[in-house]
Amino acid sequence: MRGDDAWLLDMLLSARNAVGFAAPLTFPEFEDDHLRQLAILKSVEIIGEAASRVSEETKAKHPDIPWTQIIGMRNRLVHTYFAIQLDIVWKVVQDDLPPLIAQLEALVPPEPE
């Protein structure tokens, strides 16, 4: 069975992926790049799915992480895939994921060398 460390690592890696996929793009380029849209949407979806699996105890210890919003974003992407607002996804990747990455880096144990 996977523990919180694994879910937090999944969140961190997927957040880094989403930011990295978006890094070379402007918003108009993102709007026109279906492949990157799918990659970023899947990364954000994984962040939310992993967050939903983090224990309530860990979530309570880290109330500064917006767990409910992260999980809610995943649910919107999955259940209303036909009405995704790319400007909101873009804002999340640009504004919300970099601070989340910093928060998660402080929680995820370093990988052995």
* Domain spans, the chain: 4-105
Active site residues: 74, 79
What is the per-residue pLDDT for 1?
82
State the pLDDT confidence band at 110, using cuts at 50, 70 and 90.
confident
Question: Is residue 111 classed exposed, middle or buried when 0-12, 13-18 and 19+ CB atoms within 10 A define those classes?
Answer: exposed
| pLDDT digits 0-9 by tens, 12-28 | 999 999 999 999 999 99
Mean pLDDT of the chain: 95
Percentage with pLDDT > 70 across the chain: 97
